[in-house]
Structure 1
Amino acid sequence: MLPADLIEELLGFRTERDWEQFHAPRNLAISLSLEASEVLELFQWQDPRGEAVQALLPRLREELADVAVYLTYLCHDLGIDLEAAVREKMLQNRRKYPVELSKGSAKKYTEL
């Protein structure tokens, strides 16, 4: 859900380098997962109360940007409107997790 001008900049960056040839959906999905794992790795041995998160922000920012870039490429290449997909998912989530049953609960909808 990046602004259109930034998406165009990302696509132009990729095109200028002739990297589309390496960006099959499978490769982009793998890269997306790897970058998301790098986000997770930053939290691996952190205090569960999150007191050290502030120190991680510069690295988190960089890794989250990588996640956003690969997600943007994947959505573009597959013709997925990410904003529309998120809006549809929110409608599904509202049905699965009604406030009166799920407020304050971490249970999955199948456990409510």
Structure 2
Amino acid sequence: MDYPEIEQALIEFRNKKGWQKYHNLKDLALSLNLEASEVLEIFQWKPSDTKLTDEEEKHLEEELADTLIYTFYMCEKLGVNPLDIVANKMKFNQGRHWKTEK
């Protein structure tokens, strides 16, 4: 699936569930933060070089998907393509960090 197809599927799912009323930027940002915390929880109390089990990797994938879904919903509310804003940020960072690395 490409991004427009994913976005359409997410919107259809949201609308089918009747969740539109909850999808404002503030509540989506809160949900994004909560899901990001669940990503962090997978690594809590483990040494940084610990190899994740297959079950933990699957759990991590699910939590990363949740964070992406909320990010995509926020981008939809803002009317921006997440791939475009990432590309723009990369260009900005390259210009900013290029100067310090010479």
TM-score of the pair, normalised by structure 2? 0.88
Q: Distance in 1 between matches of 2:90 and 2:51?
A: 30
In the alignment, structure 2 segments of 5+ residues that lack a partner are: none
Shift of the 53–97 alpha-carbon distance from structure 1 to 2, 3 Å rule, reads farther
Code of the residue aligned with 1:68 in structure 2: it is L
Q: Distance in 2 between matches of 1:53 and 1:28?
A: 30
Deviation of residue 5 (structure 1)?
1.4
Q: Distance in 1 between matches of 2:7 and 2:45?
A: 34
Q: Which runs of 4+ in 1 moved over 6 A?
A: none
Greater shift after overlay, 36-45 or 46-55? Answer: 46-55
Output the aligned Cα RMSD.
2.0
Q: 2:3 is matched with which residue?
A: 3
Q: 1:39·1:60 contact (CA, 8 Å) conserved in 2?
A: yes
More helix by share: 2
Deviation of residue 53 (structure 1)?
5.7
Q: 1:36·1:64 contact (CA, 8 Å) conserved in 2?
A: yes
Larger Rg: 1
Aligned length: 101
Deviation of residue 66 (structure 1)?
0.5
Q: 2:64 is matched with which residue?
A: 64
Q: 1:108 is matched with which residue?
A: none
Q: Distance in 2 between matches of 1:23 and 1:89?
A: 25
In the alignment, structure 1 segments of 5+ residues that lack a partner are: 103-112
Which structure is higher in RCO with an 8 Å CA cutoff and minimum separation 6? 2
